[in-house]
A and B are shown apart, each in its own frame.
Chain A
């Protein structure tokens, strides 16, 4: 063991740079994976972060009268109690609209459990009794900001002028509008002013549990304890479920990047170790002649390279943690939980060991005769080289072309090792292009309507007329969105009536056809998957209590609700749900600026909203693409250095001969660069071509898996691909040039043979 340690230490000392690069490449991949997983976990599950930060309550009990908190606290499994707080329904009055809200009492000193987390502005202050703090998602939907007027009418019809002093987030109830009504916190006195009658208020109490898994049991106990007092109970599971939306595409994309990044890293490590073993064959043979056994050599290689990889994993975990905690404070609320972290760390460590294992095993099988260094096969001129000779190319090119392929396996490994990162980069570019396409052609992702207008302060009957009067508006489609119960499902899906059967809204139909008659509908992939139906099937849904049978005639790209949306003409809907038309979706002229149109329509008294482009929700992907490209470039670099070291080793003898034959140092350099450059070019071109052809298909696959549906994938433009490939080749040649120049000037000692 001591002998192994001595050798490993000496070898590491001799190649610090390469060792550092290995550590960095692995660390980069691990950090990227952790960052991606954190974003994913946090993004798909904002509840977790909010709940942790606010020390939230797992169960909220709505009762008529305030329960005895001490009795609740005594319940087995209850760790702490929040409230009870009084809560009153009220109506928020804004110009042109009235929105039902819940006002909830909260002390000026934030409680220990279930405290809202202030995101903007400040918390309630007894010196400012008019102040309210509004839940953030509700504030966003209603356009409220700190300082905005907050006019409410109580059930008695009296109007109170309050002011928003802050916006806060809470993990104790879901986001608006999935979770209605909107929530605002006020001081006890303010609540009393708005709703003086205690009979119209309810009492809300939160329970923080010692073990969240026992929620159901404790809910039962609570109901028993409180008797008929309980009106409604909400648990953390419902809250979490309501927040988990719309992020499956992001998740699947990140998983794809992570997995392939890991494969690329494994390849790079295997290549680096394999190359190192080839360079060291002589030393390994010497060690064996001294009495190292096959197992000891394998073990030494495993320890040396495995330790580098594991150091990379540790560094990567630390870096990933630091990135998510410090650099991405705004994006990430809570660092990755232990499970995924351990999975990433152990998964990478395992990958590293497997990647190291094979070359180490091969190294162990080195024959112990050091006097016979493994000479490169004295290859004949390859067909390519002979062709080059025929057309009288410069000798350096011919020799380089010959050198490139003398060792087939390393040549293949180098090519492959560069092709894989390049393929990934091309796929990344494809994702980028897809996002750009989302933004530039929203109609292709089902967002032909750039604006949605509702009757604000104008009569509902006039909305269409006003909207169409605007010069920027091309068409207005009447629409209604209702939640509908689907047979066999415990939850609702969205039914969207938009346009009429005769004049349907321009959905992006990718399969089947658009609906043309009453009773026909199109659906997103998510809905087809959920209900396990195909185009041509009939579905029976219940809308507003009325059963409705719809024939699915096509599949559309559906970025909302994970694709679980059923769309049909508004004429298929019952009149009670469709009249007056709840909203109009406006398709604008190509040259019209949505912001300007929006401003004009708002001035005309309409309530205007703009749908969120999926590209905005996926914006984080761009950060990941850039970061991953950097890591992939590192991996490519590691592969390249391995190839260079091997090339120099294989051709050291030839170099002396070439010089003896009269090649100038510049020609020798050119030979070496050509040898590496050919492999690099081959690898980059293969990688780019494969990546470009795969990217659209892969993204479509992702789209289908995430419910949006296939048909969204785009291939990066030829110019982008050409620039990427040329950059990669150019950089690789530059990297190859430095050692080649040095080698060309270097005196090759005789003993190297």
Chain B
């Protein structure tokens, strides 16, 4: 399979079982999921339904107990931790609920880090960082420490960091879970914009308003997919749709 035809993400009977004091606790129970290139998938479900575990496994942050994970036509669930790390540098961007900026580094350093990690020169990393911060409206905050930023600003920086290496897949774990509605709107608008440019996104949320932005919403319950629905036919969507949805709800 080549990357042109293969889906960006494909899982086959993915299973995750945690051991809690010797008692097996299944978190994900046989998930088959396919995400095509350019798709925006929202995964919803109540607390403990396994959605975070699922997205962590997709990014290699957590190991699977059983099943297969294919990324860009390549089987990745068998990769070692280090191979996963190298893969993440190039292909996967992560955005977390609590932003997770490296506290000791400035905004600029945080955004440049993935580029440097992927082997870009300092100059190249700097150029990309300036571009991204510019696009996200954070040009003036480059030298600020993360603690000096508001939550929305921090999440925008995190988004910039996740996009620094133009990943094939952007994984977002409750990216708005810790934001007020105005900042939520900001972040969602940005996600909409990058999606409009063709970015494949998988997002975990329990907020229906957020899920509305996606092309496709998957409902998880007790570690199994109970509902998988396309909200709008992807092909027919105009570029402004995401923004309109926000406007409607906001």
Bound together, the chains give a CA A294 to CA B86 distance in angstroms of 11
A291/B89 contact (C-beta < 8 A), A2-B122, A6-B113 known = yes
Interface membership of B94, Cβ < 8 A: yes
Tell which of A11, A283, A289, A294 touches B59, judged by Cβ atoms closer than 8 Å. Answer: A289
> Of B38-46, B100-108, B226-234, which stretch is located at the interface?
B100-108
Interface membership of A225, Cβ < 8 A: no
| A14 CB → nearest B CB, Å | 4
Bound together, the chains give a CA A14 to CA B104 distance in angstroms of 6
Interface membership of A457, Cβ < 8 A: no
| B209 CB → nearest A CB, Å | 22
Interface membership of A548, Cβ < 8 A: no
A293/B82 contact (C-beta < 8 A), A370-B96, A371-B52 known = yes
A290/B161 contact (C-beta < 8 A), A371-B173, A751-B151 known = yes
Which B residues are CB-close (under 8 A) to A371? Answer: 52, 96-98, 100, 173
Please tell me the number of chain B residues within 8 Å of chain A, measured between CB atoms: 39
A3/B113 contact (C-beta < 8 A), A13-B104, A286-B102, A287-B102 known = yes
A-contacting residues, B205-222, CB 8 Å:
none
Bound together, the chains give a CA A701 to CA B107 distance in angstroms of 60
Chain B residue at smallest Cβ distance from A5: B116
A289/B116 contact (C-beta < 8 A), A13-B104, A371-B97 known = no
Which B residues are CB-close (under 8 A) to A291? Answer: 85-90, 114, 117-118
| Residue from B56, B85, B98, B103 having most chain A Cβ neighbours under 10 A | B85
> What's the A-B contact tally at a CB cutoff of 8 Å?
93
Chain A residue at smallest Cβ distance from B103: A283
As a 0/1 sequence over residues 264 to 305 of chain A, the CB contacts with chain B under 8 angstroms (1 = contact) are 000000000000000000110111111111111000000000
Whether B98 and A289, one on each chain, are in contact in the complex, defined by CB atoms closer than 8 angstroms, is no
Which A residues are CB-close (under 8 A) to B173? Answer: 371
Interface membership of A217, Cβ < 8 A: no
Interface membership of A626, Cβ < 8 A: no
Bound together, the chains give a CA A70 to CA B116 distance in angstroms of 71
A294/B82 contact (C-beta < 8 A), A10-B106, A367-B61 known = yes
| B14 CB → nearest A CB, Å | 17
Interface membership of B62, Cβ < 8 A: yes
Tell which of B56, B89, B90 touches A369, judged by Cβ atoms closer than 8 Å. Answer: B56
Chain A residue at smallest Cβ distance from B89: A291
Interface membership of B81, Cβ < 8 A: yes
Whether A3 and B116, one on each chain, are in contact in the complex, defined by CB atoms closer than 8 angstroms, is yes
Bound together, the chains give a CA A584 to CA B112 distance in angstroms of 86
Which A residues are CB-close (under 8 A) to B85? Answer: 288, 291-294, 296, 368
Besides A2-B116, A369-B61, A751-B178, 10 more A-B contacts (Cβ < 8 Å) are A7-B105, A10-B105, A287-B102, A288-B85, A289-B96, A290-B94, A291-B89, A294-B81, A367-B62, A369-B62
Could you show 21 A-B contacts with beta carbons less than 8 Å apart?
A2-B122, A3-B113, A3-B116, A7-B113, A10-B104, A13-B104, A283-B104, A286-B96, A289-B61, A290-B113, A291-B88, A291-B117, A292-B117, A293-B82, A294-B82, A295-B82, A296-B85, A368-B61, A371-B52, A371-B96, A751-B151
